[in-house]
Amino acid sequence: NVQASAPAARDALARGVASGLGFVYDDAHESGTAQRFGRAPGYPVFLAALDAGRPVPTATPARVKVAQSLVGALTVWLLGLVALYAAGPRAGMWAAAIAAVYPPLVVLPSYALSETVFSGVALTAAFVLQLAADRARTEAHAPVSRTVLLALAAGVLAGGAALIRPAMLLYLPLAVAWLLIARRVTLAIALTVAVFAVITPWTLRNLRVHERFVLIPSEGGV
């Protein structure tokens, strides 16, 4: 069996969400004899917010291209900001300049693929966590609640990124290990709690729908 194309499947799920039916494939989604795999909910929700699945699109709608181009532009600025924070103004300028002409960042917003949105959310999560760790290290007498709030925000963003592309789950153990090595146990706990607070409702939904444990997606494919 050949899996239905990812854009078509996400469009179909977006139509279901926008129509109030939930994360279900509608009759307009033709998949032949292929199994209709479950998918992570984040990107279909993004498309549904733009009402991008209705009517059934024959190409990526212009409003999706515009929205993703804006997200991509913000990601370019974010990459420049990360480099500026890490290595100074010169590095920030070069990072932003290279990102602005990097072919995948330029081309991907034209397609109904989740990479553009995922990249922006994932990078923001990593940057906010870095801010939390640095503030905890440099501001010895800073209120703990402030650094914890940053770590919680990073966890919410990381959880949201995982609901867009589950590969983000690989980030969590690495980030927690990094915090533990730096003796930032409180931040590690805050990050973990926030990530699972975002993911758990969807996992419970999967348990009810699929009657078995599925952390985020039940997707298969190539």
Helix-strand-coil percent breakdown of the chain, rounded to 5?
A: 70, 0, 30
The four Cα atoms 182, 184, 185, 187 give a dihedral, to 10 degrees, of -130
- Please give the Cα distance from 120 to 116 (Å, whole number): 7
For residue 214, give both structure tokens: 């599925």
* Closest listed residue to residue 52, CA positions, set 4, 102, 91, 16: 16
Show the low-confidence residues of the chain (pLDDT under 50). Answer: 1-4, 34, 221-222
Per-residue b or e along 26-35, where b marks 16 or more CB atoms closer than 10 Å to that residue's CB:
eeebebeeee
Q: Residue 112 has what pLDDT?
A: 85
